[in-house]
């Protein structure tokens, strides 16, 4: 597919607009979106204007909010209003977060009263909460209704509702009583009571963290979950596709920060080079400053290195082993935190478990290091290497398991405290341990 997309990009450069339009008409919407994501700002605007209106609306809805904002900048006011109005309220709010405030206010004024009202519901919740991600367009079924009445309401709702497969059931005060599936309603007799078809519902408070709510929805394998206010009244619906989008963004952020960079929040090929540079440069400065600790340690133990030159040969091995061990532990615990397998309250259990893991790993590597270094450089040097590997593995595993929990407790992204910082910390402390063991064993 990438070959075909490259050929289409070549048509833009050669200004073969008629041929490009003919090709776009034959492409599935998903492939059109892939093509738009690979283009620069100007080429993307040109290509978007060539799409038929129905395809453009569908493709626009599938693009990342950053790209939607750029497309809006290049469209005429009438077109902007059309595409903005075509979005679901939750998608519209996410796009507004990408826009300048003045542009967002102007777009809101262009909306119909109904769409403006729905959008204001979502805007009323703080950023990062599930209320900001839910859809206020849902079909709630009163528990005292019959199936026939419920089906009539579903038919009238048509395409306006976010989903029709999982339906909240409410009492006369609109308090959530459970959910009913469309399959249950279709299978039941027309005169059956909805209350007899209710299933227990997992719901989330509108002020609940969006990522935690998305994880719950995905883990419980729900097609949709009701969102409620403090009084347990239904205020919106949260669907599995929105949950997967949130989890994908969270995974991207964690992966970027564990690698020492900020997330791009947009497709790589459509990201300007300067933006990519800015996402990395700050972390490189931080890590470069942190690496000076290692230099200071080497400078402090310079006399020890001069006394036994062979010790310097093992510095890369020990640094690499410590960094990798710490990163493994940090990645495991960060993932466990995201899945809800552990919480900051489990700090003692995690620390004890990682201590034992470190002892086991260190013992295995220490024996190999002792034998390898002992045979070639002498058993005294072998003892230093073996003991250091055990110590570094215990230290790195313990710190790597502890730091994400501390970060979570402090309200900081655990990924930030993971690989880059742990590697820098373990490098410096591991070398201190190494040279202290060397001085004790070798008597220098």
Of residues 132 and 77, more confidence is placed in 132
Tokens 């075909």 belong to residue = 4
- Mean per-residue pLDDT, 194-219: 89
CA distance 402 to 395: 11
Q: How confident is the model at residue 78 (pLDDT cuts 50, 70, 90)?
A: low
CA distance 396 to 421: 12
pLDDT greater than 70 at residue 359? yes
CA distances from 272 to 13, 254, 278 (A): 18, 21, 10
pLDDT greater than 80 at residue 416? no
Residues contacting residue 295 through CB under 8 Å, at least 6 positions apart: none
Whether residue 291 is found in the same domain as residue 399 = yes
Whether residue 174 is found in the same domain as residue 116 = no
Mean predicted lDDT score pLDDT of the chain? 82
Q: Give the least confident one: 7-21, 70-84, 94-108.
A: 70-84
Whether residue 415 is found in the same domain as residue 295 = yes
CA distances from 429 to 76, 240, 264, 442 (A): 59, 45, 33, 20
CA dihedral (42, 7, 59, 211) in degrees, to 10, reads -90
pLDDT digits (tens, 9 = 90+) for 217-240: 888 888 899 999 988 999 999 988
Last residue of some domain: 127, 160, 175?
127
Full strand arrangement of the beta sheet holding 166-170: 141-142, 166-170, 176-181
Q: 3-state DSSP call for residue 378?
A: coil
What's the pLDDT score for residue 2? 52
Is 315 a domain residue? yes
Whether residue 79 is found in the same domain as residue 217 = no
Please report, for the domain that includes residue 57, its CATH number. 1.25.60.10
Please report, for the domain that includes residue 433, its CATH number. 1.10.357.20
CA distance 83 to 102: 18
What's the pLDDT score for residue 77? 54
Q: What are the φ/ψ torsions at residue 176 (nearest 5 degrees)?
A: -70, 125
What's the pLDDT score for residue 116? 80
What's the pLDDT score for residue 434? 86
Whether residue 227 is found in the same domain as residue 291 = no
Whether residue 403 is found in the same domain as residue 369 = yes
Q: Which domain holds residue 173?
A: 141-249
Q: 3-state DSSP call for residue 430?
A: helix
Is 156 a domain residue? yes
Is 194 a domain residue? yes
Whether residue 288 is found in the same domain as residue 240 = no
Is 331 a domain residue? yes
Is 132 a domain residue? no
Residues 264 and 425: beta-carbon distance below 8 Å:
no
Helix axes 419-442, 315-339, angle to 10 degrees: 140
Whether residue 276 is found in the same domain as residue 219 = no
pLDDT digits (tens, 9 = 90+) for 11-45: 777 777 778 888 888 888 888 888 888 887 777 77
Other CB atoms within a 10 A radius of the CB of residue 152 amount to 12
Of residues 318 and 57, more confidence is placed in 318
- Mean per-residue pLDDT, 163-188: 90
Domain count for the chain, please give it: 3
What's the pLDDT score for residue 435? 84
Whether residue 361 is found in the same domain as residue 399 = yes
Q: What is the pTM of this model?
A: 0.66
């Amino acid at each position: 597919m990438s070959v075909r997309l490259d050929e289409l990009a070549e048509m833009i450069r050669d200004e073969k607009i008629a041929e490009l339009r003919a090709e776009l008409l034959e492409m599935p919407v998903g492939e059109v979106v892939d093509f738009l994501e690979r283009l620069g700002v100007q080429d993307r605007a040109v290509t978007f204007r060539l799409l038929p209106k129905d395809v453009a609306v569908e493709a626009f809805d599938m693009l990342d909010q950053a790209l939607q904002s750029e497309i809006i900048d290049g469209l005429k006011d009438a077109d902007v209003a059309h595409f903005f109005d075509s979005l679901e309220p939750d998608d519209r709010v996410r796009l507004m977060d990408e826009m300048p405030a003045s542009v967002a206010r102007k777009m809101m004024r262009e909306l119909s009263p109904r769409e403006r009202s729905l959008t204001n519901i979502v805007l009323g919740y703080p950023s990062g909460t599930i209320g900001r991600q839910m859809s206020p367009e849902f079909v709630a079924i009163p528990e005292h209704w019959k199936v026939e009445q419920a089906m009539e309401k579903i038919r009238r709702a048509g395409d306006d509702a976010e989903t029709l497969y999982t339906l909240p059931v409410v009492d006369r005060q609109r308090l959530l009583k459970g959910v009913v599936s469309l399959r249950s309603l279709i299978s039941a007799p027309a005169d059956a009571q909805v209350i007899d078809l209710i299933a227990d519902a997992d719901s989330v408070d509108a002020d609940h963290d969006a990522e935690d709510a998305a994880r719950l929805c995905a883990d419980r394998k729900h097609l949709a979950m009701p969102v409620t206010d403090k009084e347990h009244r239904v205020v919106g619906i949260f669907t599995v596709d929105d949950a997967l989008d949130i989890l994908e963004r969270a995974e991207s952020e964690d992966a970027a920060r564990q690698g020492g960079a900020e997330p791009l929040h947009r497709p790589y090929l459509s990201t300007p080079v300067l933006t990519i540079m800015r996402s990395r440069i700050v972390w490189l400065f931080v890590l470069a400053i942190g690496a000076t600790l290692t230099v200071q340690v080497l400078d402090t133990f310079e006399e020890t290195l001069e006394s036994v030159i062979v010790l310097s040969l093992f510095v890369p091995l020990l640094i690499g082993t410590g960094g990798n061990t710490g990163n493994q532990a940090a990645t495991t615990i960060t993932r466990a935190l995201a899945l809800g397998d552990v919480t900051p309250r489990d700090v003692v259990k995690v620390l004890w478990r990682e201590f034992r893991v470190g002892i086991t790993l260190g013992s295995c590597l220490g024996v190999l290091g002792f034998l390898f270094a002992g045979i070639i450089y002498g058993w005294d040097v072998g003892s230093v290497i073996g003991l250091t590997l055990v110590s570094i593995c215990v230290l790195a595993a313990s710190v790597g398991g502890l730091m994400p929990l501390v970060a979570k407790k402090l309200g900081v992204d655990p990924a930030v405290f993971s690989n880059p910082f742990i590697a820098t910390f373990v490098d410096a402390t591991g070398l201190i341990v190494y040279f202290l063991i060397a001085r004790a064993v070798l008597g220098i």
